[in-house]
Amino acid sequence: MANFRLSRDIAFLGGDLTVNAAEALHNFLLTLQANQGRLTVDLRGAEAWDSSSIQLLFAFIKSRPPRTVVWRNMPPEMAADIRLMGFGNLLNEVSHER
């Protein structure tokens, strides 16, 4: 099961981020559109993902001002999948705090 929450300027995404959660993820990302400042996306709790969730995340990034999304605690496997898909250039900053 996917879980999402916003705490100040940090969006926490966790759980099963697959096609089963695509609608909920999309709706959560829509609520973040109002904040056009810098936003940190923390993926510490991400357990599973697929191309649908990665597509939604990058559509969200492309809809925002440049370099306003910072990634935190992205699982190394997810970063590798993103690079394999050819989207590595969209990973602005990735920090790990585990």
Q: Where along the chain do its domains lie?
A: 3-95
- Give, in order, the Cα–Cα distances in Å from 73 to each of 36, 41, 52, 54: 22, 8, 20, 15
pLDDT in tens, 53-89: 999 998 988 888 878 888 999 999 998 998 898 888 7
What number of other Cβ atoms are within 10 A of residue 58's Cβ? 16
User: According to the model, what pLDDT value does residue 83 have?
Assistant: 87
User: According to the model, what pLDDT value does residue 72 have?
Assistant: 92
pLDDT over threshold 70, residue 93: no
Q: What is the CATH number of domain 3-95?
A: 3.30.750.24
